[in-house]
Chain A
């Protein structure tokens, strides 16, 4: 029972991180109809930057966010403006996949080149500490990671709901032509959407670096589950992605008890296929991949 509860709590904590990252992936898809394969490569890049920051300066990895979040935001804007927008609209979906895929390869290769393929892990004074919560033993770093993800997700939600920029962004996602007609500069908004998406990768990467061992090719373990999440949630729907992330994160965590870590990962792919077979528009919210 306590094992079950422990997995439940860990599942929620993991789901939170998935939700933040899936929200980023949804943003790119929403504003540009781009499946951003490099999202998880940027995630690992941010994790490496956090690790590098801590080993060099001895400061807390969370402080690296001050650098990485703005850096990633600008990178995202530039990536959209300089690369993605150059692609022909007719073949945008397919070619953008290839382009972001090639970016992922370059990042993975560079990480291996600069930091070598060795596995890295941040040593923190509170790395070993844990809190007892209703009989479940939860590592402090996991709680911090979850808190970071939850706060960022909340902030993202507020930006989208409360600000004028958020309104313009949502209009661009729902109906780009109509948004353009009412005077929204959809190109600029798409750039900022990309920046925001990449900023989630910066935060997620730092959270990941807190309690995981990282290596250059780790991003492949993340992109599969994340893509499954955004399909299950309904491509383009941020709340859908968040709910799907939570459910699948929980499912993965609970399945680890009877199946072990490797097989538990298959839940994402099973859910992906089930969704495409039964309800291709996704389970939570509208789907943008439809025509028109």
Chain B
């Protein structure tokens, strides 16, 4: 517990110190992009990590949040930060019917709807030129004065994104330890079983989905205010949605900081390649291969893999107790001689007997 707290403190300090350590505005802007990815991936993980439902179309909600914020600022002239929150709330409301349609039946429908949403929104936002600016894009007014220079802008937005990320992480953590979170994780592990124990699975999934859409939209809105320009093809892009999935999956969707870690790795790689080789088709291949490798070989992500590795070297309280139970059975068996194993207490039964019966069962 203490080490965990220390780790978080070090992490927070590193994030806060980054702008002053960044050698030039470009690196700083890469930092902002990575933080933006971290916000989006963490937001995605409200539904992906807790319920196990994979959405490939979360770009819908970041895009809608971005356009919602921009259009509110342009047409009503309200405070941009208020606009961002209103945009998030609007997307959350919109997510209710979408969630109802896609979560009522299990499995495939959710993924299909998530992809369909991105494709339909791309279509609508490209065609509805008089409102969205269409393919010409939409210029978003800056929230800060002209006198604030570029590097200063980047720095402010880096901290703003970090704050939003902190809020999202805090909510994720609170849900993770709550009764609601326990129900959600049960849905991820075995939805039928959870429901048979009295968990209202549909309402739980819908709530998680709406929370996820809300935070994703906030992330999109903040990005819009920073970047200052929106183009449907980049906002409603399947690729952006799949970045969120890859980042979360790579880091580990069952851990609080998994998506953040994934965002740092993938975000850095993406920006590095873009800078080095330009926007070629090759990044699609790399992205596809990486996603395939993660899905096939490490679907649990980096964080669980590493913590398992650490556990192997460091005996923990739980494993000690478990071992002692096994040892107890062992002692009993050696004490009463061979052939007594069937009479052993079933709860502390040795693995082999139970594995055997499992074999018989299947």
Residues of A within 8 A of B (CB): 29, 33, 35, 37, 83, 86-88, 91, 93-95, 97-99, 101-106, 108-113, 117, 216, 220-221, 223-224, 227-228, 231, 235, 262-263, 265-266, 268-269, 272-273, 276-277, 280-281, 287, 289-291
Which B residues touch A281, using CB under 8 A? 105
Our pick among A37, A86, A105 for the contact of B115 (Cβ within 8 Å) is A37
Does the CB pair A269–B127 fall under 8 Å? no
Interface of A is mostly: helix
Other-chain residue from A95, A106, A262 in contact with B289 (beta carbon distance below 8 A): A106
Q: Are B296 and A112 in contact (CB under 8 A)?
A: no
Q: Does B90 belong to the interface (CB within 8 Å)? A: no
Main secondary structure on B side of the interface with A:
helix
Our pick among B281, B287, B296 for the contact of A117 (Cβ within 8 Å) is B281
A43 to chain B, nearest CB (A): 16
The answer to whether B116 and A272 touch across the interface, beta carbons within 8 angstroms, is yes
Determine whether B106 belongs to the interface, using a CB cutoff of 8 Å to chain A. yes
Contact of B119 among A94, A95, A104, A224 (CB under 8 A): A224
Q: Are A276 and B291 in contact (CB under 8 A)?
A: no
B285 touches A110 (CB 8 A): yes
Name the residue of chain A whose CB is nearest to the CB of B48: A94
New contact pairs (17) apart from A94-B52, A276-B109, CB-CB < 8 Å: A86-B296, A87-B296, A95-B54, A98-B249, A98-B291, A101-B56, A106-B288, A109-B281, A112-B281, A227-B115, A235-B108, A262-B127, A269-B119, A273-B101, A287-B105, A290-B105, A291-B106
Interchain CA distance A58-B126 in the complex, whole Å: 38
- Asked if B292 is an interface residue, CB under 8 A from chain A, the answer is yes
A105 touches B287 (CB 8 A): yes
Contact B108 A289 (CB under 8 A): yes
Give the number of chain B interface residues (Cβ < 8 Å): 45
Q: Which of A105, A221, A280 contacts B104 (CB 8 A)?
A: A280
Task: Mark each residue of chain B from 297 to 329: 1 if its CB lies under 8 Å from any CB of chain A, else 0.
Answer: 001000000000000000000000000000000
> Roughly how many angstroms separate A87 CA and B299 CA in the complex, as a whole number?
9
Q: List 15 A-B contacts (CB under 8 A).
A: A87-B296, A97-B111, A98-B56, A102-B295, A103-B288, A108-B281, A113-B285, A221-B119, A223-B115, A224-B119, A262-B126, A262-B127, A265-B123, A287-B105, A291-B192
Across chains A and B, which 7 residue pairs bring their CB atoms closest together, nearest first? Answer: A112-B281, A109-B284, A105-B288, A109-B285, A106-B288, A102-B291, A102-B292
**Cβ-defined contact, B295 with A269, below 8 A:** no
**B contact residues around A117 at 8 Å (CB):** 281
Q: Does B112 contact A (CB under 8 A)?
A: yes
Q: Which of A29, A104, A109, A224 contacts B108 (CB 8 A)?
A: A29
A99 touches B296 (CB 8 A): yes
- In angstroms, Cα B56 to Cα A88, docked, is 20
Which residues of chain B come closer than 8 Å to A101, judged between CB atoms?
A: 56, 242, 288, 291
Residue of A nearest to B287 (CB): A105
Which chain B residues (109-124) contact chain A, with CB distance < 8 Å? 109, 111-113, 115-116, 119-120, 123-124
